[in-house]
Amino acid sequence: MIFGNTAITALAPMQDVTDLAFMRVLARIGSLPDLFVTAYFRSTSTTCAIAEANLRCIEENETGVPILAQLAGSEAAPLMRDAERLLQLPIDGINLNAGCPAPLVNRHGAGAGLLRDPKALQSVLQGLRSVVPPGKFSIKCRTGWQDAAEFPALLELLAAATPDYAMVHGRTRNDLYKPNTVCTETVQLAVRRLPCPVMGNGDICTVEDANHWLSTISPAGVMIGRGAVRNPYIFRQIRGGAAPTAEEMKLYYRILAEETDRILHTKRTPAGHCNRMKKYLAYCYADFTAEQEYTLRRCTNIDDMLRILCG
């Protein structure tokens, strides 16, 4: 059972960012969360796009941290089929994506697209609930499509499907990732109305943010994405550990370079390795000068990149 008496932390799924390499980095620096969630597997009537990178997160997860497989889709039958398939793997449960704002995904009614079609949402929730064993079904959602005023009705649908827990990103689809749009009151509404533990998510960037959420908004736990890429020691800090030193941040970049190298393996080229690093660095540039950022963005050689990152 993932939830006990104490609040838990989760690494938010981020396609191509919170991948196997990043999970391994967290293990090596001693700052693991309590829960991982894969980025979504896209589930349609014709296919489940079994993204190899997501599969590796499950099959090669040697961190000891439980991992959920996330599915994104708009029809119950394919989602049920793919949930049953994924449940054969060493996962701790199935997580339904009702938050992805990508137009391509939403156009087909999946991700946050489910939030503007209550019938589809209800059917998908009921279908998944019927095939996912007790304790193993969760949903990650935003607070509406256009407006958070939609959320109370959505919460009724969610509650009726009796998920085992939920992660609520305090933005609507309309908010995309715009700054200052996370609405903590709406997350609190979910905590009050859902008959299951609710983790809060959205712009939790520091240990102070996390502690504020844990003490006032989402006592069951916090889910952190971009903030953990910028400061991967945040999970250690939430457990009462020290803030990272400058040396520890350098260690992070070095280990990230090693672990991305390891997952790229035979597909590795110097520029490819740098491009892979840039997927994470996109969330770290604020810690560098404008000149360093400019050079990092143009790096095609990992040694040059590490010279800037680690001095």
Ligand X SMILES: Cc1cc2nc3c(=O)[nH]c(=O)nc-3n(C[C@H](O)[C@H](O)[C@H](O)COP(=O)(O)O)c2cc1C
Question: Does residue 230 interact with ligand X by CB under 6 A?
Answer: no
Rounded Cα–Cα distance for residues 215 and 225 (Å): 20
- With a CB cutoff of 8 Å and minimum separation 6, the contacts of 250 are 309, 310, 311
Rounded Cα–Cα distance for residues 65 and 105 (Å): 29
Least distance in angstroms from the C-beta of 201 to ligand X: 5
| Region of 20-28, 77-85, 121-129, 196-204 interacting with ligand X (CB under 6 A) | 196-204
| Region of 14-22, 26-34, 126-134, 268-276 interacting with ligand X (CB under 6 A) | 14-22
Query: Cα angle at 147 between 180 and 95, to 5 degrees?
Result: 85
Query: Cα angle at 232 between 97 and 101, to 5 degrees?
Result: 25
Please identify, using beta-carbon distances, which residue of 224 and 257 lies nearer to ligand X.
Answer: 224
Among 10, 17, 255, 274, binds ligand X (CB under 6 A): 17
Please identify, using beta-carbon distances, which residue of 263 and 306 lies nearer to ligand X.
Answer: 263
Please identify, using beta-carbon distances, which residue of 201 and 260 lies nearer to ligand X.
Answer: 201
Please identify, using beta-carbon distances, which residue of 70 and 237 lies nearer to ligand X.
Answer: 70
Question: Does residue 113 interact with ligand X by CB under 6 A?
Answer: no
The burial class, CB within 10 Å (0-12 / 13-18 / 19+), for 205 is middle
Among 15, 162, 174, 184, binds ligand X (CB under 6 A): 15
Among 2, 9, 13, 200, binds ligand X (CB under 6 A): 13
Compute how many other C-beta atoms are within 10 angstroms of the C-beta atom of residue 266: 4
Considering CB under 6 A, how many residues would be counted as binding ligand X?
21
Q: Has 100 been annotated as catalytic?
A: yes
Compute how many other C-beta atoms are within 10 angstroms of the C-beta atom of residue 215: 10
Question: Does residue 225 interact with ligand X by CB under 6 A?
Answer: yes
CB closest to ligand X, residue no: 225
Tokens of 181: 């749009």
Rounded Cα–Cα distance for residues 74 and 110 (Å): 5
Least distance in angstroms from the C-beta of 225 to ligand X: 3
For every residue of 114-153, DSSP letters joined together read GGG-HHHHHHHHHHHHHHSPTT-EEEEE-S-SS-GGGHHH
Say if CB 300 and CB 255 are below 8 A apart: no
Q: Identify the active-site residue in 57, 100, 183, 196.
A: 100
Question: Does residue 48 interact with ligand X by CB under 6 A?
Answer: no
Question: Does residue 14 interact with ligand X by CB under 6 A?
Answer: yes
Rounded Cα–Cα distance for residues 235 and 252 (Å): 14
Question: Does residue 224 interact with ligand X by CB under 6 A?
Answer: yes
| Region of 42-50, 158-166, 220-228, 241-249 interacting with ligand X (CB under 6 A) | 220-228
Task: Encode burial over 113-131: b for 16+ CB neighbours within 10 A, e otherwise.
Answer: bbbbeeebbbbbbebbbeb
Rounded Cα–Cα distance for residues 231 and 223 (Å): 14
Question: Does residue 226 interact with ligand X by CB under 6 A?
Answer: yes
| Region of 219-227, 256-264, 268-276, 286-294 interacting with ligand X (CB under 6 A) | 219-227
Question: Does residue 155 interact with ligand X by CB under 6 A?
Answer: no
- What is the CB-side half-sphere exposure of residue 233 using CA atoms within 13 A? 16
Interface residues with ligand X (CB under 6 A) are 12-15, 17, 39-40, 70, 97, 99-100, 140, 169, 201-204, 224-227
Catalytic sites, residue numbers: 100
